[in-house]
Amino acid sequence: MKKTKMNIVLIGARDMTVKFRELFSESKIINILGVLDLKQDTKDINTVVEKISGGRRVDSVVNISGDDKIQQRLLKIKSLDRTLLSNHGAGLLREIFNRYVLLKDSLKKAEEELDVQTWGLGKTNESIRILYKELDKKNQELKRLDKVKSDFIFIVSHELRTPLSTMNEAIGLIIDEITGKINQQQKSILIIARQNLERLTRLINNLLDISKIEAGNIALKKKAVDVKDIVKEVVYFFEPKAKSQGLELKANVPKEKIEIYADKDKITQVFTNLVNNALKFTKEGFVQIDVCQQAAKIECAVLDTGIGISKDDLPRIFGKFQQFGRIEGEGEKGTGLGLAISKGVIEAHGGSIRVDSELGKWTKISFLLPRYSTELVFRQALDDAVYSALESQISAFIIVVRMDDFLKMFNKLGQQVTQLMTRVEQLIKSSLYRRSDLVVSHFDEIAVFLSDVDKKDVLAISDRFKEVIQKFIAEEKLEKDITFSLGMALCSEGEDADSLLRRSRVNLI
């Protein structure tokens, strides 16, 4: 059933008439019939109300003026006694109206402010877009210039290294008097020249190293390396220099073997840089090399009792061409690249490096490297091979040779199983004809990574593996105990060693 609206006549609305009509324009319960401004006598009000209503039913007459005298005069008109709203009711309506006006004004003000803010935000967003575009443009230009700089350093350094090496050898021949006799003054001059050539060669080698590190082209020849051997070599090399400065060079390393999977020459270079820096900035006391084993890592550190590094300088310590505590004038000078190169080398090995220091007292530079394990070698070798193949955009496959029920066989035959796996790995290597083919093993698996081959080649190679393995097992009379499974997978873009291994384990051949 449709509800009937209440028809109302307002009295004393004055200049609020328009706003009152707006307030109730969409009301479902109230309909404003008209507004009376009380200019006429209240005696004629009944006639006026009827005129305003136009013959429509009038449910209520409301004195909205808030004037109590007017309300008392209206109460005396008998024709309005049923329809006249009480003072209290009229006050409530007036309060509602006032709050509506305030709310509407507030909303209008808020809309205006929002419009201003929206306009400003739009302008800000447009400015940000322009700034980002400019920033991206400048970043691209900086990258281009940095690459040009790195390429220039690499080319110039590479071109300079050969003539410098030739000059150094020639001076060496003259100093050794191979080309003829020279006097002591000539020899002294030539020795100084050779020392400067050697310094220039070190600078060029450092520039080449930092260029390769920044380009991500640092080549690592990894193998199992005993850190103790590296420390021993470094101490032997620097001990005379330390003694000449009145310093003690100490090494604190465990007695047992401490192996890492690393490029020995590169890690030696890191130790050399750190010890050389320590000796350079230590006037009294000692320089100490520490090595200790952790669960899965090896921690190495070089501690000195030198001049230290200020807190402000610590964040920049591994930056290129950074030198702290350098004294002007005579004395050994560096390039400021040693620590940057050391950081790059350590990170290329999957490690981390840090520095701690107290100005005027001591400095300790320590780095962590992964401990050697067959699993580490296995994973890293395959990761490197996969990355290299994908970078070169050549097809590559992996063949995985797995001993079935390895744990069961190990419990039954013991170390004989490990020896069998080693022998099978050797047979697989000998059945390959290319030096570029990679063979690595871990636990019960031997992985063979083949690059630049097609599926037909891979199937032929796997057949060859099966043949040599079956022949070996037969010779060892282990046909009833030992069996092997072979799987293969094609290296796909965006893949890593783990996913390649997983696919090869289920794709049996």
State the DSSP string of 328-351: SSSS----S-HHHHHHHHHHHTT-
Q: Which residues contact 5 (CB under 8 A, 6 or more apart)?
A: 27, 28, 29, 30, 31
Per-residue pLDDT tens digits of the chain, which is 509 residues long:
556 777 777 777 666 666 667 766 666 777 776 776 665 545 566 666 666 666 677 777 777 776 777 777 777 665 665 566 666 566 666 676 667 667 777 888 888 888 888 887 877 888 888 888 888 888 888 877 777 766 766 676 667 777 888 888 889 889 988 888 999 999 899 988 888 888 888 877 887 888 778 777 788 888 889 999 999 999 999 999 999 999 999 999 998 999 999 999 999 999 999 999 999 999 999 999 999 998 889 999 999 999 999 998 998 999 877 776 544 444 455 567 889 999 999 999 999 999 999 999 999 999 999 998 888 888 888 888 888 888 888 889 999 999 999 999 888 888 889 999 999 999 999 999 888 889 998 889 999 999 999 999 999 999 999 999 999 999 988 888 899 999 999 998 878 888 888 999 888 88
Q: What is the spatial distance between Cα 72 and Cα 87, in angstroms, rounded to a whole number?
A: 10
**Cα–Cα distances in Å, from 440 out to 279, 371, 500?**
41, 18, 14
Give the 3-state DSSP-derived string for 245-289, with helices as H, strands as E and coil as C.
CCCEEEEECCCCCCEEEECHHHHHHHHHHHHHHHHHCCCCCEEEE
- pLDDT for the residue 84: 67
- pLDDT for the residue 328: 45
- Is 61 in a helix, a strand, or coil? strand
* Tally of CB atoms within 10 A around 480: 7
**Cα–Cα distances in Å, from 268 out to 36, 217, 369, 416?**
103, 19, 13, 37
Q: What Rg value do the Cα atoms of the chain yield, rounded?
A: 45
Cβ distance 100 to 23 under 8 Å? yes
**Cα–Cα distances in Å, from 404 out to 228, 276, 398, 399, 459?**
38, 53, 18, 15, 21
Residue type, 18: V
